[in-house]
Chain A
Amino acid sequence: MSAGVGVDLENLWIRFGDFVAVRDANVHIKGGDFFSFLGPSGCGKTTILRAVSGFLEPSEGNVLIGGNNMQGIGPNKRPTALIFQNLALFPLMKVWENITFSMEIAGASARDRRKRADELLDMIALPGQGDKLPSELSGGQRQRVAIARALCAEPDVLLLDEPLSALDLKLRQHMRTELREIQKRVGITFIYITHDQGEALTMSDDIAVMRAGVIDQIADGKTIYNDPATAFAASFVGENNVFRGKVLEVRGDQALIRTNRSGDLLSRISTANKGKMNVGDDAMMFIRPEALSLAPTGTQGDHFVTAKVNHEEFEGNTFNIFMEGDGGKELKVAIPNHGQSFEDHSGQDMTLEYEVNNAVAVPAGELAAE
């Protein structure tokens, strides 16, 4: 496995007229990594990808691939290959011609191309399908042909623009594993764009969470999930319950927050915000549904929450309880199903308990839209 070629974005700004699509992005992507940009649609992640692939010149800042500045170098000269959202397979070429298009451009003979295509078709588990047209393949097969076509160009960096979004759920989950395996096998840098946190978390070495042109946090999946840097990252990645309030007291790495409707609650301050949260600041506290558990009703304390139950549902592996929450949002509690008996508490008050370490406080900020 080769070390791979790294990609750096330095103070990258991209503007379209007055609209700022990407604001001062600084990202270091290690060679051979599977790196994801995760964000809702319209957050500028595709714009970054187009800047890396060369279809777009940044307004300010630089794109470096393997340490070389890519300014003024067109997409056909960059060591990148892009897998388009709609795959963009050439509809009139057979599968093998599609896969070896880059070789045709380079002037390779038909025999060499055929041979290489057969190798790649074996790799993507479509042996002997080279003479079909793309329209004669299924969605997942087309997907793999697009990957083979990009790999045939032997790029240093493979860019993927939400390539799985057109597939159905089952196939998407299957392709996640497959993509990750291919990446490990070829050992080149993958840059992956997605709005699906599941895809980002399962496949990536590192993830950049983007919001409206700004990169909120860059870290591995576990860190982003457990230790979000911003309210947006906390609410966008996975399900989360939010408590709004003001910092009442800072105790080292912990903060006591006077919440709007659940009293004073204690939580851990997220790593990125240590030392930055002061008494009196607006703050948000996040607790995952699975981190809450039931406690004797009416228990008071700085890690107990009491609220009225709106409704409950049974989801198989968990019982979900929805309670009156903060700011019109419901508070969700997920109780693992161990086969215990479970009674309906709708309309009653219930008290929940959490471990302080599982609650995380960040400065108040924009939440992800649901």
Chain B
Amino acid sequence: MAQGQMAPGIVSGRLSSDELTSNFTDLHPPLAAHEAAVAADRCYFCYDAPCVTACPTDIDIPLFMRQIQAGQPEAAGETILAQNILGGMCARVCPTETLCEEACVREAAEGAPVEIGRLQRYATDSVMVSGSHPFSRAEPTGKTIAVVGAGPAGLACAHRLAMLGHDVVIHERKPKPGGLNEYGIAAYKSTNDFAQAEVDWLLKIGGITIETGSVLGESVSLNGLIENYDAVFLSIGLAGVNALRADGAEKDGVRFAVDFISDVRQASDLADLPVGRNVVVIGGGMTAVDASVKSKLLGAENVTIAYRRGRDAMGASRYEQDLAASHGVKIMTNVQPVAIHGNGAAVEIELEYTSSHDGQLKGTGETVRLAADQVLKAIGQTLEGAPEGLQLDGSKIAVKGAGRTSIAGVWAGGDCAAGGEDLTVTAVAEGRDAAMDIHASLTA
């Protein structure tokens, strides 16, 4: 019997299995063939299309729209995958509202862009369903490249290198490949274990070996990799999380949002997953939105996002904010946590209102207390475990050109590398481009 939303504390089984199943279905159900034809027909086949410019992986969107219109969704899928081998996941998780769909001329014309994301999913799904892998490997080059991290950047790099005839060994610290696609993406965006299915499909190219449980700095070292491989690509992501500076931050019930999200993604039965009655998520990015929506879907009664700056400064797009709001999440802006109260376990969070003067954020002194038996920290991830000797740019690995680090023979891309937004699609682009650069330098 479900415990209900009113059960106090952090408990599992707030909702029935049926409710949970219904809550965690696809955020956007896939398009049927006729829907896709109608939606694709709205594409104007723009000259030098703005949507392509807006796509970090430069997918030829008008071409794939036309291929859908012409009744060949698999050909459309190949057009996408040729530029973005993780086009299936990107179709699900890309903030299209700030990328291709924002640039779509129909957004300017009528506030209703071509549904590029959903159509990309339609096209890539049809390739995945067919079971075929439309790419093949070039003649073997005899070179082997080490890729560290099996997230989007690493997988994209590995696939492109394999396609070009190289062998690739991916060192992955976690038990499963996929990186944030597997452990970080909101469950309602990637259903039916899509991340693993996509990795399996990607590996069909051949020539890629994944060694899970292989941790840089422990089981392998950068110097060892440089010695044993023809090139190294680092795509280690941002494994660290920023700490919360507030009294009582160590109390029970306070945890990192990324861990909470990962638990949801890895749960074999959502009914076993505990969630608070009153959840407060600290932060303003996509992670904060994902964690808050998940809490709500698991049955939390009250979920609040507390963000220290104004709404405009939130990392989550307006679309993501609306998504949270539509699930009943309350968004509080200009509040910062000062203390978490409770005897051992969190009961309340005390937030102080803030105001900004000349870009400087200051507490106003006025505070408010919210019931909070669970506090999720979503205040950013940081680079952790980067090998010694790599030049950094701010808090990330410095790169030049297509991901060249300060050490010869070592490339980096994805969230761990400086430059570009921390998006799956950007990581794919960086991995792919680094692969082309590695190939060029190995075959020069």
A and B: bona fide binding partners: no
- Chain A residues close to B by CB (< 8 Å): none
